[in-house]
Copies of this chain bind each other. A is one copy, B any other.
Amino acid sequence: MKPVNIGIVGLGTVGSGTFNVLNRNAEDITRRAGRAIQVTHVGARRDNPAADTSGVTVSRDVTEVISDPAVDIVVELIGGVTLAKELVLGSIAAGKHVVTANKALIAEHGNEIFAAAQAKGVNVAFEAAVAGGIPIIKAIREGLSANQIQWVAGIINGTGNFILTEMKEKGRAFDDALAEAQALGYAEADPTFDVEGIDAAHKLTILASVAFGIPLQFEKAYTEGISKITAEDVRYADELGYSIKHLGITRKTSAGVELRVHPTLIHNSRLLANVNGVMNAVMAMSDAVGPTLYYGPGAGAEPTASSVVADIVDVARALTTDPDNRVPHLAFHADTLSDTPILPIDQITTAYYLRLKAKDTPGVMAKIATILSDSGINIESLLQKEVEVDHGQVPIIMITREVKESRMNDALKKLEAEDDVVGSVMRIRLEQLDG
């Protein structure tokens, strides 16, 4: 079969990684794909010493890759959403297949992009957009195609997981662990995108769509970061048998789809609680298979390139497929996507970890328990740190049973209005993730 010609746009970390993997493993990739897959054109505003492009056409004007008639598949690795969107839509208009690692682009503009691709009969593949080197899109979209998926929960930001792992293993404060992540190159100088959960929300938005067959709805994702988690929360959680992880969770209920990124207590006996450092993992619960979990590196040049190249091989195979009989972009055929609503965060149901400071007076615990009980909230377990009395205040840590968040919000208002409760109540959601 004739070789497939690849045009790579963007020669940064992932671009050079993709270039190098395609070259280094050309023989094995050809044995698998049944045809050579060769990079014939690179669009990059500057050279990258990590990739030796000698012998390959290099254009400083990246749009030349798209207009190159010899290029079969355009690999968009330029990042951002503005130029990247133009390039992807331009490639589709030119009848070229696209592979991208761009989670923001897919989460925010994927509906438009996939519609354009379908109209043109081309594929847009995006395995590398979620959880780096883990083949999670393939697993959910194809591996679980027999199932009604019930929920997907994942550690899908390595920076945040590194920080929380450092906090747990070394008792460090958030700022201190963040500084370490920055020193090691895991976190950007401005870490907002990672630690406030925006990056994870992009990925979760994509996971929700392929799991449930709903359009991409990034703007409806609830996003809460980890920057307010304290070393004492991490320690108290551990005393109760839990780890705090920054999870993306999407769950289909009879009322709608939950779509939320936030710090989450997970029992230490769960595999997800034991995914440490920069590693990612995604767990899916489905009606036929039950729980499955997928683990691996969520970022980095070659892990991400691994997914980009897997997509390239898939697209190369799809070149001879009836376009109507391919794996649909969002797992379900476009005309069957569901309008199931995304639930506002106050409509989700979950358990909670609560930490508050109370005056060390008789009956204070009874008052607190009564407020919760009057709101229909049951306490599952309790830590009262009498030994930590400080200025007449004692920390109280509770884990509640599951309750609707709006009800919890009401109870928190009442608790914070109570004279014997000092300051605000720390509230972290807790998930069982049974299985």
Task: Identify the A interface with B (CB < 8 A).
Answer: 1, 17, 21-22, 24-25, 28-34, 127, 133-135, 138-139, 141-148, 213, 271, 274-275, 286-297, 302-303, 305-310, 313-314, 316-317, 319-322, 324-328, 331-333, 336
Q: Is the CB of B309 within 8 A of A146?
A: yes
Q: Is the CB of A322 within 8 A of B324?
A: no
Q: A133-B292, A320-B325 are in contact. List 7 more A-B contacts (CB 8 A).
A: A21-B147, A28-B332, A29-B145, A139-B139, A146-B310, A288-B302, A321-B325
Q: Is the CB of A31 within 8 A of B336?
A: yes
Q: Nearest B residue to A293 by beta-carbon distance?
A: B295
Q: Is the CB of A144 within 8 A of B306?
A: yes
Q: Is the CB of A309 within 8 A of B288?
A: yes
The verdict on A135 contacting B143 (CB below 8 Å), with A271-B274, A291-B296, A321-B317 known, is yes
The 5 A-B pairs of least Cβ separation, nearest first, read A135-B143, A146-B309, A292-B296, A133-B289, A289-B306
Q: Is the CB of B135 within 8 A of A139?
A: yes
Q: Is the CB of B294 within 8 A of A292?
A: yes
Q: Is the CB of A32 within 8 A of B313?
A: no
Q: Is the CB of A288 within 8 A of B274?
A: no
Q: Is the CB of A293 within 8 A of B296?
A: yes
Q: How far is the CA of A320 from the CA of B318 in the complex (A)?
A: 10
Q: How far is the CA of A328 from the CA of B291 in the complex (A)?
A: 28
Q: Nearest B residue to A133 by beta-carbon distance?
A: B289
- List B contacts of A21 (CB < 8 A): 146-147, 288
